[in-house]
Homo-oligomer: A and B are copies of this chain.
Amino acid sequence: MSNYPIFEPTDPSGLTRKSFVSNQEVRWCPGCGDYAVLASVQKVLPELGIPQEDFVFISGIGCSSRFPYYMETFGMHSIHGRAPAIASGTKAFRPNLNVWVMTGDGDGLSIGGNHLIHAIRRNIGLKIILFNNRIYGLTKGQYSPTSEMGKKSKSSPMGTVDYPFNPISVALGTGGTFVARTMDANPKHMQEVLKAAALHEGTAFVEVLQNCVIFNDGAFTDVTSRQSRGENTLDLVDGKPLLFGNKNEKGIILDKKMRPQVVKVDEVGLENILVHDADNEAMAFMLSHMTIPNHPVPMGVFRSVARPSYEQLLEDQINTAKAKKPNASVQSLLESGYTWRVE
């Protein structure tokens, strides 16, 4: 006998961006890149055809982790670094929920690194959005595991001696089935990526290049500003050649040593430009290491492959087990094993 409430799910067709705005005052610094992510998520959710009550946003601690308060969904602002682990429990227990993990470069990659990579490894159906501002915002400006080598910060007055993580490489190295990058400054791009992430079965990992105006202002300006974006970024499209430049006049080829080279398309011919294959982890990995000034910074979906999710496999296993023992009951379990009757 189950005590769970039974409901007709609500109709998602009437949902709008506003449906997802909670009654809590948004409290990020004016100009913070987090606003853009919030707006984009609120834009994308109504387009997914999912009842509002089925969304769950789970975060850790950090500026970015205040995200759930601002969403009119179920939400938990948990403890530092643990959101992927908590969300894994939620998703494994109730696969029909649409569970998002909102995390920062510190929350997700420093203290929470292990849970993040294990969630990715398991391919559990979480949408993990990592706000990468390359700094600890909430604790007022220490360097993070994505801060560039030599960065001066409150805790590294002479500059860091730490090499940074490349979040995309980390996600690929740990088995990510959906790995993408977008930026706060380009809402349209972000919404496309978020939508693709939302529709992916299994773990979707999205790095958002996010500006912290207070403690790390301009960290991504070269990449995100409208002026340099065309030259400095490359939009990844599965099955399409790797082209970039304001007029798509440049492209990427692979040299004999398996290294990416920037070429002019009209010099080498479009047919020789490497074609993006979202199902090739080595290509994705190579792309994840491209960065300015030698290469453009790829944006979009590095990898996307279909694999059964953890929760699906678990559900299947349970169904199989139930089918095999259709008459099983807790009473019969209690009475199993070595039993005897005292008369």
Contacts and interface: CB of A to CB of B under 8 A. Distances in A.
B285 A282 contact: yes
Nearest to A311: B161
Residue of A113, A114, A274 with highest tally of chain B CB at under 10 A? A114
Interface stretch (A51-59, A229-237, A252-260, A292-300): A252-260
A103 interface: no
Nearest to A286: B282
A258 B285 contact: no
Q: Which of A122, A258, A274 neighbours the largest number of chain B CB atoms within 10 Å of its CB?
A: A258
Interface in A276-311: 277, 280-283, 285-286, 289, 307, 310
A42 interface: no
Interface in A170-225: 170-175
Given A113-B117, A258-B254, A158 B280 contact: no
Interface of A: 110-111, 113-114, 117-118, 121-123, 145, 158-159, 161-166, 169-175, 254, 257-259, 274-275, 277, 280-283, 285-286, 289, 307, 310, 313-314, 317, 320-321
Given A163-B175, A173-B174, A281-B285, 15 more contacts: A111-B114, A113-B118, A117-B165, A117-B170, A118-B145, A122-B162, A158-B320, A161-B314, A162-B310, A170-B174, A172-B285, A257-B277, A258-B258, A258-B280, A281-B286
